[in-house]
A and B are shown apart, each in its own frame.
Chain A
């Protein structure tokens, strides 16, 4: 048996309809769900839909949750990622060529990089990565999951995770070379 799941006790209280537990669960998980979905989808409105849908799954799953079988946060990340992939798939059915919002891939020659420019460049570069490389970077860098947990979410070995991270970050380094190479 591994270490105790920090969400289990809260989840049990949510299942009982404890209002304080419900609010605590929203406070604990909503920022992470919004972060994950925005980084995977590249925009906030769809991320809100994913977060809301993920909470419906939480409320439904709470009374059925079996302690010790899986870590709740791992399960929740997988659920949210599946919801993101559903949306990405729908987008690709409509636009089969380049990813959306891929305009202006670099700074103009006569202006320096502002913080907002950097953010836009990063979001565009991440959007261009293959899905699994982007997923690995989002889980490890932005969601700050450890390698074992991120690999569990992705259903791959820790070696495969490291490979996805390495390839993804190398591609980002090339795309953002003017900012990160000296």
Chain B
């Protein structure tokens, strides 16, 4: 393992931030050794980089809305089996019931715009806004 200089440590912190676990894998071990040897210098460099990380993290992005998810799902590939099943009367009835239920759930979700957890939002919306045709392959 190559040793790491103070300058190199500071350059890594400047480039990759204050969390060493997010540094390139090949640098982490040497960084840990230097942190044990020179805690004051390394902690200072990491804290400085961490303050910039924290500022960057303050910018949260808007999660994808149900309308966008619906538009994307509408363009998705469909299996022939799914379309055949969709046209059967039993599934048409179930699909309509599911669509009504989805409408209620989407309504509830749209009223709760406070959440910034975009992954959770997309997952929730996907479970509510799946068009009948897209639901058909499952369990068939």
Residues of A within 8 A of B (CB): 14-20, 22-23, 26-27, 30-31, 34-35, 38-39, 44, 47-48, 51-52, 55-56, 59, 62-63, 115, 118-119, 121-123, 126, 137, 140-142, 144, 146-148, 158, 162-163, 165-166, 169-170, 172-173, 176, 179-182
Contact = CB atoms under 8 A, between A and B. Distances in A.
Interface in B56-98: 56, 58-65, 68-69, 71-73, 75-80, 82
A39 B58 CA distance: 12
Interface of B: 11-12, 14-17, 22, 24-25, 48-49, 51-56, 58-65, 68-69, 71-73, 75-80, 82, 118-119, 121-123, 126, 130, 133-138
Given A23-B130, A51-B64, A119-B58, A162 B77 contact: no
Given A34-B61, A34-B63, A146-B24, A179 B55 contact: yes
Contact of B76 (A22, A27, A51, A165): A22
B-side binding surface: helix, strand, loop or mixed?
Answer: helix
B59 A119 contact: yes
B80 A119 contact: no
Nearest to A176: B55
A120 to B, nearest CB: 8
Contacts of B76: 14, 17, 19, 22, 26, 55, 59
B70 to A, nearest CB: 10
